[in-house]
Each structure stands twice: as C-alpha cells, then as structure tokens.
Homo-oligomer: A and B are copies of this chain.
Amino acid sequence: MNITTRGQYGVRAVFELAMRYGQGAVPLREVARRQNLPDNYLEQLMGPLRKAGLVRSVRGAQGGYMLARDPAEITVGDVLRVLEGPISPVDCAGGDAGASACCPDGEACTVRSVWVRIRDAVNEVVDSITFEDLRRQELERRSRRGLVYYI
C-alpha cells in the first residue's frame, strides 16, 4: 500500500500553487524550493497535470504555473488519479473488466470484495479533500504559530 513520489510530489506542488492562488504564475523552481522537491523531476509531473486541466502554464520569462480553477474545485483524488492512474489496491478491483482476470467467480468473488472495500474507502477520502480545505488548514496552522507572512 503506497503512493509513489509522483503522487506525493504532485499533491505538494498543487498544494503550493493553491497557497498562491490568485497571485499569477509561479515558476516551478520556486515551487520545488518551497516544498523541498527535486525540480527536474517535478517538471515531468506538470505536463500530465496541465493536460488534465488542473493547472495552467505561462511560458517564457516571468512564466510559471498556476491552478486552472479554484482550489475548492480540485480534490486530492483528481491529482492522484492523473499521476498514478486509477486508485485501486489491486487490478481486479478496478471496477470494470479486471474482475474476471482475478478470480473465476468474477465480481462475486469473496476475496475481491475486500479489495473493493479498501478501494472505496480510499477514494472516499481523497475525493472529499479539496485544496481549499488544505489551504485553510495551512493558514490556520501558520496563524497558530504566529507566522503572518505566507511567502
């Protein structure tokens, strides 16, 4: 049970962009520095996120990335699915075709129902958390620590 660095870094990057939503384009180098991520690698993740319509980019000098829509409209699940594929503990719980590849009993397979329950629990969590939620949580945390300046 693990989320690879693709998903982890992607969520951190989008989180950072959410903290700066409405402030224009942020160069990736700065995102990487703030979140302590390898920027060359992070660059690879932005392509899929852009093609999925989660972020927008501005090319050239003074360019960078920004969220394509309001943080309240982007969930952690959106980002993870783009970077990691379908969120499922095993292929056969994928929902559609994989069931019969896994067990001769197909969808009715008793063990498979375990994987389905895990899958559903995880999806419910990640789809219920928006980056607006995380932004508020982070602002709250910072204010408790007396950090007024966010950048």
Binding site for B on A (CB under 8 A): 1-3, 8, 11-12, 15, 36, 76, 80, 84, 87-90, 103-105, 108, 110-111, 113-115, 117-118, 121-122, 124-126, 129, 134, 137-138, 141
Contacts and interface: CB of A to CB of B under 8 A. Distances in A.
B137 A3 contact: no
Contact of A122 (B15, B76, B121, B129): B121
Q: Do most interface residues of chain A lie in helix, strand or loop, or is the interface mixed?
A: helix
Contacts of A108: 141
Nearest to A136: B110
A130 to B, nearest CB: 11
Given A118-B125, A124-B121, A125-B118, A1 B110 contact: no
Contacts of A90: 2-3, 8
B118 A126 contact: yes
Contacts of A126: 114, 118
A11 B114 contact: yes
A104 B121 CA distance: 29
Contacts of A138: 110
